[in-house]
Amino acid sequence: MQPALIRIIDNIRKQLEDSEWQGTYQETQIWPEGTSEATLHQFKELQSQLNQATPETAETIRTELQQLPQPFPGYELHLTKAEQTRIVDVWHLCYCVCFQAYPVTDGPVQVDESIIDREVNDVDWLVLDNKAKAIVDEVFSQLGAE
């Protein structure tokens, strides 16, 4: 996934250089589906307590946290132009690079094996870069259409 992220970020940088849009990145947390507001509040409260806890109480708080749903890290591109704003899920773009026909509506995802050079058993950087560029180009072309 790291090679896809590198190529996506680089292609976003190139697009932003020639665009009126300004971009900033923000880390986010994505919660499992069905996580209640009460659970989110409890998680945040325990995290806050953990930051100020003594070593003796920290272990108890960590144990409580482990019993709760855990967020997944997210990475967003926040785009602005004049009064317009758009948010792009960067991990989603990486998944589009790494998987065939992503997102899938049902069933498991299939790895796009065209991005792997079987002769050297490594990433085919040219194919990966071309696919990442096409995906980022599509995102920016949609910005102009909105």
Which residue has tokens 């997102």?
103
> What average pLDDT does the segment 73-77 reach?
94
Q: Model's pTM, two decimal places?
A: 0.79
pLDDT single digits (tens) 80-99: 998 899 999 999 999 999 99
Residues 29, 30, 35, 37: what is their CA dihedral angle, to the nearest 10 degrees? 40
pLDDT single digits (tens) 34-57: 999 999 999 999 999 998 899 889
Distance CA 112, CA 100 (A): 5
Residue 94: the pLDDT is 95
The helix/strand/coil state of 122 is strand
**Domain ranges in the chain?**
2-31+71-145
